[in-house]
Amino acid sequence: MNNHRLAAIAVVLLSASCLRPLRVAREPVKNEATLKVVTWNVNYGVGGAPDAFEQLERATRDADLVLLQETNATWEANVRARLTQRFPHQFWLDDAAAGGQAVLSRRAFEHEVLPPTSGWFAAIRLESETKLGRVQVLSVHLHPPISDSGGVVSGYLFTGQTRRHELEDFVATLDPKLRTLIVGDFNESTQGDAIEWAAKRGFRSALPEFAPAANTWKWPLTKSLQLSAQFDHVLYSRGLAPLSASVLKLGRSDHFPVAVVLGESMEIDLPPARGTSLGLTSAGR
């Protein structure tokens, strides 16, 4: 890919310097019920890295529920060997390439796999009794910003509608009466079509409320420059509210894990939260 094409897709749509957090993170008060969720696209190609599973152990140390994307048989074998005591309830949707997913939970859950519609990857819908009561979770890995012919520029510009249609179809399977999380690799920022569609239906992305300038994905261009974006999200419905949300700078994947602690909503109305769009940052940030 030449430098002109890279520059074309590295336009910063929203300056990080203009972003301000809407919430201040806090610790749970005594006896407060919480649910900690971690989502991470672990990258199917790095499962054999020497420290891959140590990094996953660190990212999920005190999590209640973990949603992983791009898992495969190597990831499953090692995670089951090392983390089954921590997460006795697991479901693995194996795939040789990027379509794998996994659910790791401290509590029992019911689940179903939702086949892909207009996108490339399936989704997983699950329900579980938690400290916050019964919660419904939709785990997604939406269409990458790449066209079906492999185009990067056209993919970034024109695949938003595909992700929106995917999410519409997946959300149609949900029970609207339950508190709901939509979690995973959305492959788009808060300005993307799918997330804006979800926002109109009452869902909010937790991470930009606390760390709007945080990037969850990076791709090296040179030794000193990389493309970065906030592509990974934990969307929450009414009845839930985040106490904290952060990006954990761990692992060898092109994505970082996102950790969100949720409590019961106090129904405080906040303006829309916006996170970073695709842009250029210094390598290592």
Residue-number span of the structural domain to which 110 is assigned: 33-264
CA-based nearest residue to 37, from 157, 121, 147, 128: 128
Structural domain contains residue 41: yes
Number of domains in the chain: 1
Reported for 82-88, long-range contacts at CB under 8 A and 24+ positions apart, including other chains, are 82/53, 82/57, 83/56, 83/57, 86/60, 87/60
Structural domain contains residue 12: no
Strand 89-93 with 258-264, pairing: unpaired
Structural domain contains residue 13: no
Plot region of 187 (φ>0 → left; ψ -120 to 50 → alpha; else → beta): left
Q: Are 178 and 138 within 8 A, CB to CB? A: no
Question: What average pLDDT does the segment 15-26 reach?
Answer: 78
Q: Which CATH number do you get for residue 133?
A: 3.60.10.10
Q: Quick one: pLDDT band at residue 7, thresholds 50, 70, 90?
A: very low
Distance (Å, whole) CA 160 – CA 142: 10
Q: Which two tokens stand for residue 210?
A: 């606390």
pLDDT digits (tens, 9 = 90+) for 180-191: 999 999 999 999
Higher pLDDT, 183 or 265: 183
What single DSSP character describes residue 255? Answer: B
User: ∠ at Cα 194 (207, 247), nearest 5°?
Assistant: 20
Residues of the chain with pLDDT > 90: what percent? 71
pLDDT digits (tens, 9 = 90+) for 39-97: 999 999 887 777 888 999 999 999 999 999 999 999 999 999 999 999 999 999 988 78
Q: What is the pLDDT, as a whole number, of residue 124?
A: 98
pTM score:
0.90
Structural domain contains residue 19: no
Structural domain contains residue 161: yes
Give the mean pLDDT of the chain: 88
Structural domain contains residue 3: no
Angle between helix 52-59 and 73-83 (nearest 10): 60
Structural domain contains residue 222: yes
Structural domain contains residue 284: no
Q: Are 20 and 212 within 8 A, CB to CB? A: yes
